[in-house]
Each structure stands twice: as C-alpha cells, then as structure tokens.
Amino acid sequence: MVKNMQFHKSSTLNAEEVDQFDKIADSWWDETGPFKPLHQMNPCRLKFIKEHLLRHFSLDPRNKSEDDSWEFEDGMKKSCNKKETLKGSASFNKKEMLKGSSSFSSSSHVASSSHALSSSRPSLSSSDLFRGSKDPLKNLKILDIGCGGGLLSEPFARLGTTVTGIDASPVAIETAQNHAKENDLNINYHCTTVENFESDKFDVILALEIIEHIDNPSLFIQNCARLLKPKGLLFLSTLNRTWKSYLGAIVGAEYLLRWLPVGTHDWSKFKEPSELAHLLREHGLQFSDLKGMSYHPLNQEWSLTPSLEINYIGCANFI
C-alpha cells in the first residue's frame, strides 16, 4: 500500500485534481475507459519522443524490430513506421510554431532547430552508441512526472531505459506498481510531487499532460530543470488555451462524447506555447521543437501536425 506523504507549503500539488484522478485510477489500463484518449495518443507521443532521443543522443535508428517498426505493448499496440519517425527535427520551422498562438515570439522564446540540435548534442564515446544493439536507449535514465498508471513508463522500460515514475496520486502509483509487476517490468515508482523528489539527475524528463493539472507551473519547471542533466532533454505536452481547445477538450470530450469525466480539465490552466516557452526560459531552458497533435475521429488515431491550436508536444533543452 502506498502511503500519503507531506508536501511543501509552496507546492505544485492540486488536491482536487489528485482526488479526481484517484476516483478513476483503477481504470488506467482500461483502453475503453476514461483514459482511452491517452491510450490512443500514446503512439503519437512516443514517436515524437523516440525520434528526438535517437537524434540528440546520437543513437542508431537502424536498431528496430523485425517488422521494421517501433512496437509499443500493453495499450500501445499500434506501430509507427520508421520512415515517418525519422521526419521532424530537420524540418522544424519557427513559422509553424506561431500557429495557434498569436503572441508567440520565435526570436525570444525558441532556438532554431539546427542550432539547438547541434549545440546541445552531447559527444558520446563509441561504446555509448549502441551500434547493433536491440536496445539503443538502454543507457538512458528517464523520469516520468505525473506517470499515472504507467502508460509512458512501461513502453520506455520495454525499450531498455531505466525508468522512474512519480505521481502525487497514491492510488495511481499503486496501480502502476501492480501493472509493472504483472508484466515483469522493473520501474521505480514514487508517490511524490516533483519539488519533493530527491534524486540524481536524469537524461530525459517526461512531463506529458500534467502541467495543466498542477498548481505553480513555474515551480514545476524549476524542479524539472533541477533534475535534468546539463545535456538532457525535457518533453512537455499540454493543451493550448484557444476556443478550439475549449470546444474540443471540454465541450466535446467531457460533455458531449463523455470520453472524460466532467471537470477533468480547467480551460484557464491550459498554456499557450508562448507562455510555456517563457516559463522554460525563466529556468534556463528553451524549446528546440514543437509539434501539434491532431485527432482523427474516423480512424481514431493521433498524428503530429504543424498546428498548435489544440494539443501540442515540445522538446526542450538547456540554453
């Protein structure tokens, strides 16, 4: 049983949000339940993240499964085609980032892709390149913040990384621990907030669909920076604060389609890309890439898109 813990007075914890997710925490691995949208979104998110990890850490993208695709198990049964996966950073265009956020300033908030990718890429020894390895990510340490039931932690554990997951919900952590045990996965789960978490630094930090559910976003980013290695990568995804996101994520998903419990999202806590970029720069970080994520109702799949009007995902590194 996971015990409740004490939190700092200055905290990212939103008790109402935690209580709401506690009520549905036993459904994290039900692909038809309230977390169905995250199950459907995961292949798209994983595709974006893995592409950047392979490029940034100079890993070998030729390491693949026998069917030439990236396979993700347990709720992520769709595969992403390798040729599509390798598109992205090289074609990163600052004009694309302006879509969906009229106040976004590319010159003040975002590094160009070519500069960010070349200047921040660490020089690894030949022994770290994993040439010919079935697990090209195996030496990376990943922190999954707001891990919930482990929907992101488990795929990366299967890819050979050392994964730590943290969440403020004790019920979610217990669900994650039980599911990892059932699947013989070694993942370090902790019931805590990011500001209370003490650890060595990580190569990669995942903070996906979490910043819109917490208090004190600046404190959140500050502690992400505290836990990230100097040459590490931080991945963030959230919803833009636009009329389209209000109609899609709240009116549509919560009230009309009932995909999510009513009250799951607070539109006022959605972040424009410019706002998130400003928070990052306050703590020495910058976006190197931003992509939108678009849902296609006919095939019930998500794909990466230049438009940031509703859902978007970004990769950031230290300036």
- pLDDT, residue 15, reads 87
- Is the pLDDT at 238 greater than 80? The verdict is yes
**Which percentage of the chain shows pLDDT scores above 70?**
67
Mean pLDDT on 60-80: 43
Q: What is the mean pLDDT of the chain?
A: 78
For residue range 35-52, what is the model confidence (pLDDT) as tens digits?
A: 888 999 999 999 999 999
Question: Region 6-30: what's the mean pLDDT?
Answer: 80
Q: How many Å apart are CA 307 and CA 297, to the nearest integer? A: 17
Q: pLDDT higher for 280 or 137? A: 280
The answer, yes or no, to whether residue 104 has pLDDT greater than 60, is no
Q: Inform me whether the pLDDT recorded for 118 exceeds 60.
A: no
Model's pTM, two decimal places? 0.76
Measured CA to CA, the distance from residue 211 to residue 80 in angstroms comes to 26
Band of pLDDT at residue 255, cut at 50, 70 and 90: low
Q: What are residue 204's DSSP bridge partners? A: 142, 233
Distance CA 12, CA 167 (A): 11
Mean pLDDT of 150-162: 95
User: CA 178, CA 184: separation in Å to the nearest integer?
Assistant: 10
Cβ–Cβ under 8 Å, residues 240 and 273: yes
Segment 87-103 mean pLDDT: 42
Q: What is the pLDDT of residue 123?
A: 36
pLDDT band at 164 (very low <50, low <70, confident <90, very high): very high
Whether the per-residue pLDDT at 152 is higher than 70: the answer is: yes
Taking residues 152-156, report their average pLDDT.
96
What average pLDDT does range 143-172 have in this prediction? 96
Give domain limits for the chain: 33-120+136-318
Q: Which run of H or of E encompasses 223?
A: helix 217-227
* pLDDT score recorded for residue 260: 65
CATH superfamily of 33-120+136-318: Vaccinia Virus protein VP39 (3.40.50.150)
Instruction: Report which listed range, 65-74, 257-266, 272-281, is most confident.
Output: 272-281
Q: What is the DSSP string of 138-174?
A: TT-EEEEET-TTTTTHHHHHHTT-EEEEEES-HHHHH
- Whether the per-residue pLDDT at 252 is higher than 70: the answer is no
